[in-house]
Amino acid sequence: MSSQVATRFEERTARPPLRPFVVQALGPVTVLAGLVWSVFQPYRITLLHPAGKGVWDLLVEPPLLVVAVGLLFALLVAPGLLDDLDADAAAR
């Protein structure tokens, strides 16, 4: 048996690291949690029934804030964390 075959088999069966996957998944999972929360508790979103509510009350609702935090994490924080994880993996 050639060592090249064994090396290729080892490369093919190696699992990708878990940390980058978790970092990439945090944003979408948070957005999904906010959407699920808004579906199961629609009375929390006053956009659906704005009787006498101001703009501040319409924009600052817990499910909407959870969705916004998930989007901000996925778009602004996660790319930098992934770059740092890649740099750390390359340095090893």
Q: Rounded to 5 degrees, what angle do the CA atoms 64, 30, 36 make?
A: 65
pLDDT at 31: 97
Domain segments of the chain as ranges:
18-91
Of the CA atoms within 13 Å of residue 48, those in its CB half-sphere come to 9
Of the CA atoms within 13 Å of residue 23, those in its CB half-sphere come to 16
What Rg do the C-alpha atoms of the chain give, in angstroms? 21
Residue 71 has pLDDT above 80, yes or no: yes
**What is the average pLDDT score of the chain?**
83
Q: Give the pLDDT mean for 28-41.
A: 93
Q: Extract the tokens encoding 70.
A: 């998930």
What distance in Å separates the CA atoms of residue 17 and residue 50, rounded to the nearest whole number? 47
pLDDT at 13: 62
